[in-house]
Amino acid sequence: MSMWPKDQAGQLKLASGVLAIIGTVFFFLYVYQPTAEELETKRTRVESLTAANGKVKKELARGSAEQLRQQAQAYSQNLTVMRQLVPTGNEVPALLEQVSTAARRAGLDLSTVEPQPVVVGDQFDTYRYKLSVFGNYHQVAEFLTNVGSLTRIVAPVNMSLAVTQDPAATKSRRRADQAVLDTDFEIQTYVAKAGSEENR
């Protein structure tokens, strides 16, 4: 009994069946299997990247919270310093006491303290005071340095220096070969508006 058909139609069917089997084997070996291996490699890579991203997100979430905590603490400290430099209340008695102490540390006494009109601003108001002191150049310089070193911003402005004509001041303040100066100037300081921090 022969396996090969004798008629032409049977031979064509057998040949096409063999070709289909060969084509299927060829497709499986050279197309499907390499593609499946490549897909498996990519799937493994995607899974590892997803796991790594998840781990990094968790670490960032922990690190970000700590970093935000540190930033909040730094901002709180900066705000405390800013409230000392530019307070929200005028605190006139405390300011004048600080300026008077700065003068005494330089060996001077304030001879005049006159409040000036307040300059109203959007974020803060400017308070000014006209001052006068008698003393030699070095004492005046030390006094201005002391004022500039106060815990709040106090700026000396509009200064005028002149050798004093007041005999009493000259007699009490005179040092060897040093002229006594009559120093007039203004100091200005700033007071933050109460609602300005909330509006920011």
Q: How far is residue 128's CA from residue 189's CA, in Å, rounded to a whole number?
A: 7
Q: How far is residue 77's CA from residue 189's CA, in Å, rounded to a whole number?
A: 22
- Sites in the chain below the pLDDT cut of 70: 1-5, 60-65, 68, 80-92, 165-178, 194-200
**What pLDDT sits at residue 177?**
57
pLDDT by residue (tens digit) across 156-196? 888 888 887 665 555 555 555 567 888 888 888 888 776 54
Q: What are phi and psi of 47, to 5 degrees?
A: -65, -40
Q: How far is residue 88's CA from residue 190's CA, in Å, rounded to a whole number?
A: 9
How is the chain split among helix, strand and coil, in percent rounded to 5?
A: 60, 20, 20
**Strand pairing report for 154-163 and 110-115:** unpaired
pTM of the complete model: 0.51
**What pLDDT sits at residue 198?**
44
Hey, is 132 helix, strand or coil?
strand
**What pLDDT sits at residue 19?**
82
Instruction: Label residue 140 exposed, middle or buried (CB < 10 Å: 0-12, 13-18, 19+).
Output: buried
Q: What residues pair up with 134 in beta bridges, in sequence order?
A: 182
Cβ-based neighbours of 19, under 8 Å, separated by 6 or more: none
Q: Is the dihedral of CA 27, 31, 37, 42 positive or negative?
A: negative
**Which CATH superfamily, name and number, covers 92-199?**
Ribosomal protein S6/Translation elongation factor EF1B (3.30.70.60)
Count the neighbouring beta carbons within 10 Å of the beta carbon of residue 109.
13
114, 130 Cβ separation under 8 angstroms: yes
